[in-house]
Structure 1
Amino acid sequence: MLESQTIFEVPNGGYGWVIVFGALLINMLNRALYSVFGLLFGSFFNSIGASPTEIALVMNLTSFFESIASILTGAVLKFFTIRQVSVTACILTSFGLTLSAFTVHIYQIILSFSLLVGIGFGLLNNITIVAVTSYFTTNKSRAISFSSAGTEIGQIILPQIIKLLSKHFDANVSIMIMGCLLLNGVIGALLFQAVEKHMKLECINENHALISKSNEIKTGENLKEASLWKKCKDILDLQLLQDTRFVILIIILACNYAASMDCLLIFPFLLIETAKLDQNQSATCLSVIATFDLISRFTFHFLIDWMNLSSRQILVVGIIVVGIIKTYLTFLTTYESILIACSIYGYVRAIVTVNKILAISEHCTKYYPSRFAGALGLKLVFFGIFVVIFGQLFGLFRDYVSDFSYSIYLENILSVSVLFIWFIEYLYHLRH
């Protein structure tokens, strides 16, 4: 007769929903900063005479430092708790943005914003996802969607705050106040706790326990015999780069991310200079996008469950639809029609954003269940590299054509064209 042994099981809820709220608060005050970068720093860049290429360089280097920090998150968490790292990251982003208020040159903004804020963003991006997913199994997709909804709540609130600040203060004071506001993310970080404190008890078969114990012993022996390079590969999960399907997935997501980041950068300028909207109307359009993005994160699950599609299939459809809507936006001239297009764009954009994470989770769950955190780190490294490369190309292209509409077209070409790689990969695996 088999004996049973007590082990711990992930709660799949419980205190995990508190973690979701903490991640939501952090995302609301930090991740949403990307979308209002143009509004917050627009007047400042005009005052110092920065070119579109220099502005793009600031954002691209921010993404680059974010990607570098993200791949080190897993290693950092081996020495410090998730709460300690997240609190430090929140303080870092707040200090970096506040310091940017006292800068007068582009290279100073690169040191304060791109470096400090980028590192803080990189740590927070992975920590919030790892913290949330560690508490859930079957509710993982909803937990990720709800926590990432904080970004959209911030995109609704922050433009209005910046609009209010711009009426009463100059650009430098507004940036300093926003930097102090980011410090409230520490409240969300303090809610983080290790999942081990909230695991449930479960009885399992003794044979299962013995097998697990045996595997742990073997793993320990292998680590002792491994070389330094092998240990680095294990810590950073670089074995994932040997998986062709994973690399193709990351490349496609990185190209789409580079296009999306460029769109975030130029969208306020597109509304003001191309569509001829004033600052208040532009801020309203950004809030409409964020509002429908938020609505999508709480509702699109019902639509996806009914369609019964994989995350990859949803991504393909979503990327194409987003490209069509962005192109259509460049031809609109009336404020009402732009608001309608922005609402559709916001709803579909959220579906694409969430399914980027779910596509990686889907792949790792199937092939590498214990390497999800490493996959997220590698994802952001690819994202940072592609943003620096394509971001600068987008900036140079805008300097040449002097039209934000053509940048939108170029973004769409990049996002849609790489989908053919997936099509070729699908045909290859279908034949073999």
Structure 2
Amino acid sequence: MSKRNSLTMSTRVEKRIKLIPPDGGWGWMVVTGAALSNIFNQSMLSMFSLLYGDALEAMGHNTKGAAIVLSTMLFVTNFGGPIAGVIVKLTSTRFVAMLGACSCTLGIFLSGFSTNIWHLIMTYGFLLGLGLGFIQNSSFVAINSYFKLKKSRAVGLANVGTGIGQTLMPHVVRYLLENYGFRGACMLLGCLSLHGIGGTLLIQPVERHMKKVEEDVIIDDKVHLLEEKHKNIVIDKSLKINGEPLNKSTNAEKNGKHFENGLKLEHNVNGKSNSNISKPKQSMLAKIYGLFDISLLSSPRFLNIIIGTALTVTSIQNFSLIFPFFLQKVAAMDKQQTANCMSAVAIADIVGRLTLPVIQDKFKIKARLMLIMTSIWLIIVRQVLAYQTDLNVLLFMSCLYGFGRSMIIVARNISISENCRMDQVPAAVGLGMLFMGIIVPPTGYFLGWIRDHTGSYVACISAQNALLMLFLFMWIPDMILMRLQERRKQKKNMEELELS
């Protein structure tokens, strides 16, 4: 009892102010800005064939030429992610988002003056691709800094902009092409893309909007007094450093140098620390290593996460590519019926982005677990869908697929951010995009080869599901191991608490 009383006597509780993300407030304006940028910029990904198809044909290029331009754009988008992460660390998320929006506007506008495929590669492929990479990275980093508990909901609402753009923009593009021609359509779409720049202006530094919260902090007076007592301690001259007695370092004494806790500190004549402490010069490779946070790749869990998310995105992208062909050639649907099924996917995708994040936030489900559950959902839905030919059944299955697909888009970057520090998020998202750029092209080519070699769309869909199963085999054991480690840590903390 006396021991417990003495312990209580030596401790006291202080109220301290802690700054936390607002989880709302101006954060919703940031979400609105990201959604605006997605409506007029990210939606251009699905507009390529509609907008540039006739222009490429006039230049003398067919599907192969379109694939070159589109592949260039996707390559630059993914490889622009790490560059965006570095610029975010050096400047701000608003600057990178604005730079990306300006690059998108310039790319769309200048593409209207293209007279050969190389012009399209430089404008649509490079400028638009780089802009989209910058926007994807910076907008997520901005939202991530404003939200903690409602992060999934905020990311879902921002991504709804992409769904709205993919639903409305085809009709806008068709109208502009019919009334103003290819060049006029590109110029007007470039003007619409300027709304994305307006959206980026809504991004403000989160420090301006942080909430102040009072929290109780237990202070141990004995530890506090001990720290104060030894705050300016100087090591005795009889001690040795590197095998030599400290009292021989007469030159260091004269220059006011002392050793504290094994670290060399410089003092001026007044006893204050010298602000011009010489720092060892870093090599260029060391600076690059630090800027890109390459140390993240030394973690097997982080590698597992970014490879897994790349596999899921590859699977859904490849399915989106072959889905219209499956509907027309296997289910024998006309263009109108095919468009109806694709619209069902898009509408269900929007509904999913609005509802699934709310469920995730309410029940506090980790993004990685949501990805695992929705991947199982997609495997079942797509495998059943592959054997259907009835229009009503396909419409229903399309809705189920779109609903599940939405969570892959929302949760992939959140799952990456959950496993790194806040200051590492820009680089972590960039590295995730980099691995996506490395994995998507060869895997997509392999899935296309399966379709051509077997002549079966069902075999191709099964191969896409096999990718998701590989993702599950990678993530489920790691999730179980992580859970066991957390329980072991909690048990150890409880034992230490009981002993104290």
TM-score higher than 0.5 = yes
Report if the CA contact (8 A) 1:361-1:372 is conserved.
yes
1:122 to partner: Cα distance? 0.6
Q: In structure 2, do the counterparts of structure 1 residues 272 and 184 end up closer, same or farther at CA, with 3 Å as the change threshold?
A: farther
CA distance in 1, matches of 2:62, 2:330: 18
Report if the CA contact (8 A) 1:157-1:287 is conserved.
no
Report if the CA contact (8 A) 1:293-1:348 is conserved.
yes
Report if the CA contact (8 A) 1:38-1:268 is conserved.
no
CA distance in 1, matches of 2:286, 2:383: 47
Q: Which residue of 2 aligns with 1:132?
A: 143
1:110 paired to 2:121: yes
Q: In structure 2, do the counterparts of structure 1 residues 326 and 62 end up closer, same or farther at CA, with 3 Å as the change threshold?
A: farther
Q: Which residue of 2 aligns with 1:24?
A: 35
Q: In structure 2, do the counterparts of structure 1 residues 329 and 359 end up closer, same or farther at CA, with 3 Å as the change threshold?
A: same
CA distance in 2, matches of 1:165, 1:279: 21
Q: What is the one-letter code of the residue matched to 1:65?
A: V
Q: Which moved more, 1:21-30 or 1:264-273?
A: 264-273
Q: What is the one-letter code of the residue matched to 1:87?
A: M
Give TM-score, length-normalised by structure 1.
Answer: 0.83
1:299 to partner: Cα distance? 1.4
The percent of aligned pairs where both chains have the same amino acid is 30
Q: Which residue of 2 aligns with 1:324?
A: 380
CA distance in 2, matches of 1:332, 1:41: 33
Q: Residues 378-402 of structure 1, C-alpha deviation per residue, up to 9 Å, x if partnerless? A: 0000011112322344455556566
- Equivalent of 1:408 in 461, 480, 495: 461
1:183 to partner: Cα distance? 2.4
Q: Which residue of 2 aligns with 1:231?
A: 287
Q: Which residue of 1 aligns with 2:25?
A: 14
Q: Which residue of 2 aligns with 1:214?
A: none
1:294 to partner: Cα distance? 1.4
- Equivalent of 1:70 in 61, 73, 81: 81
Q: Residues 47-72 of structure 1, C-alpha deviation per residue, up to 9 Å, x if partnerless? A: 55655555444333222211222111
Q: Residues 66-119 of structure 1, C-alpha deviation per residue, up to 9 Å, x if partnerless? A: 122211123213444433332221121122123333435444332221211110
CA distance in 1, matches of 2:25, 2:18: 18
Q: Residues 165-223 of structure 1, C-alpha deviation per residue, up to 9 Å, x if partnerless? A: 45556566545543432222112112111112223345676989x99xxxxxx9x9897
Report if the CA contact (8 A) 2:156-2:357 is conserved.
no
1:147 paired to 2:158: yes
Q: For residues 25-424 of structure 1, what are the structure 2 equivalents within 5 Å?
A: 25-45=36-56, 50=61, 52=63, 54-165=65-176, 168=179, 174-201=185-212, 224=280, 226-272=282-328, 274-304=330-360, 309-364=365-420, 368-395=421-448, 406-423=459-476
Q: In structure 2, do the counterparts of structure 1 residues 5 and 422 end up closer, same or farther at CA, with 3 Å as the change threshold?
A: closer
Q: Which moved more, 1:37-46 or 1:412-421?
A: 37-46
CA distance in 2, matches of 1:148, 1:49: 36
Q: Secondary structure at the match of 1:12?
A: coil
Q: Secondary structure at the match of 1:371?
A: helix
Report if the CA contact (8 A) 1:12-1:135 is conserved.
yes
Structure 1 residues without counterparts, runs of 5 or longer: 212-217
Report if the CA contact (8 A) 2:16-2:214 is conserved.
yes
Report if the CA contact (8 A) 1:29-1:181 is conserved.
yes
Q: Which moved more, 1:295-304 or 1:372-381?
A: 295-304
Q: In structure 2, do the counterparts of structure 1 residues 224 and 135 end up closer, same or farther at CA, with 3 Å as the change threshold?
A: farther
Q: In structure 2, do the counterparts of structure 1 residues 58 and 207 end up closer, same or farther at CA, with 3 Å as the change threshold?
A: farther
Q: In structure 2, do the counterparts of structure 1 residues 425 and 77 end up closer, same or farther at CA, with 3 Å as the change threshold?
A: closer
Which protein is bigger by CA-based radius of gyration?
A: 2
Q: What is the one-letter code of the residue matched to 1:416?
A: M
Structure 2 residues without counterparts, runs of 5 or longer: 1-11, 228-264, 266-275, 486-500
Q: Secondary structure at the match of 1:376?
A: helix
CA distance in 2, matches of 1:331, 1:42: 31
Q: Which moved more, 1:385-394 or 1:251-260?
A: 385-394
Report if the CA contact (8 A) 1:53-1:392 is conserved.
no
Report if the CA contact (8 A) 1:10-1:136 is conserved.
yes
Using CA pairs under 8 Å that are at least 6 residues apart, name the structure with larger relative contact order, 1 or 2.
1
